[in-house]
Amino acid sequence: MQATFFEQNRRAVANSVRGGVIVLSAYRGQQSQNDMAHRFQQEANFWYLTGIDHPDWLLILDTVNGDEWLVGPRIDAVHETFDGSLSAEQATVTSGIKKVISKDEATPLLRKLAKKHTVAYTVDHPPYASRFNFSMNPNISHNKKMLERTFESVIDCQKDIAKLRAIKQTPEILAIQNAVDLTVDGFNTVKAQLDSAKYEYELEAEFSYMFKRNGGWNHAYDPIIASAKNACTLHYNANTSLLRAKKLVLMDVGARVDGYAADITRTYVKGAPSKRQIAVHAAVEAAHYDIIQLLTPGLFVEEYANLVDRRMKQALLEVGLLKSTDDDETYRTYFPHAISHGLGIDVHDSLGGATQLQPGMVVTVEPGIYIPEEGIGIRIEDDILITDKGYKNLSSKLSTSLA
């Protein structure tokens, strides 16, 4: 992405809040083992406003006069030797921010800004973070506490940025399309090798090779290669099981290209499918097709959810898993997850609390039916751009068929 992209994003977010200063922190690196860190993944909002892909940086933005600073981390000689660092010049080229200052200079600057502004905006952890089964990045709360000591009030502007991020700009759509195209190539390669592959991880390796070999890209998230009943564990990603003949294999995979994720799912069969597999797959495929047709700008999210429930219940009736459309408990047993989510820098990108679909949004459509007692788990997922007149399926080049 060009620096102008990040500059425009900063201007847009500065205009969307009512005065004050915006102070966002990059993530901190996280321990993987002993003295080794996990591969670094930047906080999405910080990246959206700066393009900086390194830990421990800080963005300070005076929304009234447009003054902006990047604060670089302290890096000692040892870490410089082992990890390198991002120079001030490189940070300016990437972000378009001319003033790059040190941590020591940041404290008096923020005190000075606090005399002029009562409000500091920042991005807090999501309100539902307590439901996650993992620890949150410490820089988010460190930054918030630092601001609370300095400013009269600290306000979460996550929603303001999410609203901007929800409407994709041309270079963002291009990046998502490139990530989708690369992922589609991976699926076509893997499908051709399915009959000769022995283990789930062999299929994962084909995707990884495809992504790395064609531009040095990585997976946007841990890929799910789930055969037979593994597919009924929704986030299964061990990918270690033997692939058995006549069993289904569900693959949920997406590359990340230029900072943007793809998120595609297909379910194939190794060898010849059974009548039951064909029937359940056909029910999901037909629902997937019909649900995509619903997407149009102005569609209320609530209305969409109701239409999806009606269509998915019909799919479950067709394959004999549901007896009555009033039986919501059974319905949610066989279709336990959401039909759609936003897609962008985050694989599960926020739509900014929108109540209606708008042109420029990119959403997934991913109906599924999961029957653990039959060893069947089927999902089909495409990535869809909402346009002025309707939608564009960015992953339509990839066949949805079972074999």
Nearest approach in angstroms of CB 261 to Mn ion is: 9
Locate 166 and state its tokens: 């929800």
Nearest approach in angstroms of CB 165 to Mn ion is: 17
Q: Of 230 and 364, which has the nearer Cβ to Mn ion?
A: 364
User: Which contacts (CB < 8 Å, 24+ apart) does range 125-128 have?
Assistant: 126/158
Show Cβ contacts of residue 110 under 8 Å, excluding neighbours closer than 6 positions. 21, 23, 60, 146, 147, 150
Q: Of 50 and 364, which has the nearer Cβ to Mn ion?
A: 364
Asked if residue 363 lies in contact with residue 342, where contact means CB atoms within 8 angstroms, the answer is yes
Q: Of 363 and 376, which has the nearer Cβ to Mn ion?
A: 363
Q: Of 71 and 339, which has the nearer Cβ to Mn ion?
A: 339
Asked if residue 26 lies in contact with residue 43, where contact means CB atoms within 8 angstroms, the answer is yes
Q: Is 120 left (phi over 0), alpha (psi -120 to 50) or beta?
A: beta
Nearest approach in angstroms of CB 324 to Mn ion is: 29
Strands (E) across 16-147 are located at 21-25, 31-33, 36-37, 58-62, 68-71, 99-101, 119-122
Nearest approach in angstroms of CB 221 to Mn ion is: 9
Show Cβ contacts of residue 40 under 8 Å, excluding neighbours closer than 6 positions. 27, 29, 53, 54, 55
Q: Of 82 and 128, which has the nearer Cβ to Mn ion?
A: 128
Asked if residue 360 lies in contact with residue 171, where contact means CB atoms within 8 angstroms, the answer is no
Nearest approach in angstroms of CB 279 to Mn ion is: 24
Q: Of 263 and 346, which has the nearer Cβ to Mn ion?
A: 263
Spatial separation of the C-alpha atoms in residues 48 and 46, rounded to whole Å: 5
For residue 81, with 0-12 CB atoms within 10 Å meaning exposed, 13-18 middle and 19 or more buried, which class applies? Answer: exposed
Q: Of 60 and 255, which has the nearer Cβ to Mn ion?
A: 255
Q: Of 147 and 384, which has the nearer Cβ to Mn ion?
A: 384
Q: Of 94 and 364, which has the nearer Cβ to Mn ion?
A: 364
Spatial separation of the C-alpha atoms in residues 343 and 350, rounded to whole Å: 8
Nearest of 88, 159, 92 to residue 122 by alpha carbon? 159
Spatial separation of the C-alpha atoms in residues 47 and 39, rounded to whole Å: 16
Nearest approach in angstroms of CB 224 to Mn ion is: 10
For residue 358, with 0-12 CB atoms within 10 Å meaning exposed, 13-18 middle and 19 or more buried, which class applies? Answer: middle
- The secondary structure of residue 180, as a DSSP letter, is H
Binding residues (CB under 5 A) for Mn ion: these are 263, 364
Nearest approach in angstroms of CB 341 to Mn ion is: 6
Nearest approach in angstroms of CB 294 to Mn ion is: 17
Q: Of 85 and 237, which has the nearer Cβ to Mn ion?
A: 237
Nearest approach in angstroms of CB 335 to Mn ion is: 14
Asked if residue 270 lies in contact with residue 249, where contact means CB atoms within 8 angstroms, the answer is yes
Nearest approach in angstroms of CB 106 to Mn ion is: 38
Q: Which residue is nearest to Mn ion (CB)?
A: 263
Show Cβ contacts of residue 196 under 8 Å, excluding neighbours closer than 6 positions. none
Asked if residue 170 lies in contact with residue 135, where contact means CB atoms within 8 angstroms, the answer is no
Nearest of 281, 35, 22 to residue 164 by alpha carbon? 22
